[in-house]
Structure 1
Amino acid sequence: MRNSSESVADLPQGQNAYDRLLEDIRLGVLLPGARLREVELAARLGISRTPVREALRRLEADGLVEHLPRQGASLRRLGYAEVMELYEMRAVLEGTAARLAARAASDLELHELSEINAAMTASDVPTEVARLNRQFHTSLINAAKNRYLQSAIGAMARTLLILGQSTLYDPARSTSAAQEHDLLLRALHARDGERAEELMRAHIEAAHRIRLRQLRAAGLMDGIEPNGGNNVAI
């Protein structure tokens, strides 16, 4: 057990290490199955092993890291069935968020969503488009004003990070996603919760189709049966 002075000193570095490792996972720098050695990570991040260890514990609690016998910590691998289940649940949860936001969002929040989507439409930088897309979805979820829904979506979103880069790195998908956001915004401004939920579900399902297409193109889904019997790193 660490003493109190060590804990206080390492808390900021531990948070920093956690955030930086999350970003590496999001960007695909760390791939499913990657070994996560404390010494190597500490050297790369320029910090001691203690905050790295703390960050790995948090990532394990998030369900992103697993410890394997005689191998140590590694980034989890997701199987076909789990990816299908995650996107199905995302459609349900974010669809619900859109329905609630149609009722609960303030005019200011809806204006902010419109501005974010306009910036997303205007950008041709993949990293910026992906960032704005995350901001759009986060702002909409916050506008739903349901803390339990926010918590559930947050836990699911962390697991989805294992899939790596956003589907919006595909220019065609970034264009269609912004158009889907625009349709959703119209339903939100009209305070039509049922239509907003329907459009959000369709939006998530479109992202799901692109994700599966990308995984197949990368050769990561060969031989996987729809029953999820095989557990393949994707």
Structure 2
Amino acid sequence: MPVSDTNSQSMTDRIVDLIASGDLSRAERVKEVEISERLGVSRIPLREAMRKLESQGVLEARERGGMNVKAFSAKQIKELSDVRAALEPIAMREAAPAFRKKENRIALNAIIEEMKWAASHKNRQAIALADIEFHSFLMELSGNDLIRNIWSGLRLQLQIVFSLELCIPTNLEDVVPKHLALRDLLLREDLTGLEQLVVGHVRPELNITN
């Protein structure tokens, strides 16, 4: 019996958290028994979550069976940035009018406060999660189902890339002013400014650890 979408999503997030925290290393084989015991889940829903993560580019099949954590190359991270650079201007353009509603402005500011806390405490994983939450919120507000579906796969890869310092500014506090600038442009519905800023925002310098 397949697990529900909600349970499957929770399971994939928990596996990604293990990778993003470094508990599962890049290119390491994912051992079902060990992971199921660590997460306190049975192997059937774990396998389903792993298949989903394979389809989303987080895990990859081994020639002799089983799966490895995907090791992101410079080329793959550049491709990830290229897709974001194409996707996010559209999402932000479509999401901008939603910030005429007070509750959406409050929610966005709350995410930025999380980001500020994480930056002040130099918590790289927390700031990566807040960064992803910021952009996920915009994808949701875009109202574009295709964008949401594409983003659902990208966000997990981005969490890993950001958390493991594969592609992130050296100074974590630089992340906050960049997102404040995006917020201000969104609130003003400055679509030209948004497009110019977001393309530079999603193309950070590569920092690949071989």
Query: TM-score of the superposition, structure 2-length normalised?
Result: 0.81
Name the Cα RMSD after superposition.
2.9
Match of 1:181 among 175, 179, 182: 179
1:63-142 alignment runs, 5 A limit: 63-70=57-64, 72-108=66-102, 109-123=104-118, 124-125=120-121, 126=123, 127-142=125-140
* Alpha-carbon spacing, 1:153–1:177, altered in 2? closer, same or farther (3 Å): same
Matched residue SS, 1:105: helix
Q: Aligned partner of 1:93: which letter?
A: L
1:195 — aligned with what?
193
Picking from 13, 21, 24, the partner of 1:27 is 21
Higher relative contact order (CA 8 A, sep 6+): 1
2:58 and 2:70 in contact (8 A); partners too: yes
Could you tell me which of 149, 153, 167 is aligned with 1:151? Answer: 149
Residue 15 to residue 100, structure 1, CA distance change in 2 (3 Å) = closer
Indicate if the aligned counterparts of 2:91 and 2:147 stay in contact, CA closer than 8 A: yes
Q: Is the 8 A contact 2:20 2:159 kept in 1?
A: yes
Distance 1:66 1:195, change over 3 A: same
Cα 1:13–1:130, aligned 2, differ >3 Å: closer, same or farther? closer
Q: Is the 8 A contact 1:177 1:203 kept in 2?
A: no
**Residues in 2 aligned to 1:85 and 1:43: alpha-carbon distance in whole angstroms:** 35
Task: Work out whether residues 18 and 56 of structure 1, in 8 Å CA contact, stay in contact via their aligned partners in 2.
Answer: yes
Deviates more, 1:192-201 or 1:101-110: 101-110
Shifted more, 176-185 versus 74-83: the winner is 74-83
CA distance in 1, matches of 2:167, 2:154: 21
Identity of aligned residues (%): 28
Structure 1 residue 45, shift from structure 2 partner = 2.5
- Check 1:157–1:122 CA distance in 2 against 1; reply closer, same or farther (3 A cut): closer
In the alignment of these two chains, the number of paired residues is 205
Distance 1:16 1:133, change over 3 A: closer
Q: Pick the structure with greater CA Rg.
A: 1
Distance in structure 1 (CA, Å) of the matches to 2:157 and 2:48: 18
The alpha carbon displacement at 1:121 in A equals 2.3
Question: Which runs of 5 or more residues in structure 2 are unaligned?
Answer: none
TM-score by length of 1: 0.74
For structure 1, the 5+ residue unaligned runs are: 1-6, 221-234
Deviations for 1:12-58, whole angstroms, at most 9, x for unmatched residues? 87665433212112323222211012222223223332222222222
Residues 86/65 of structure 1: CA separation in 2 closer, same or farther (3 Å cut): same
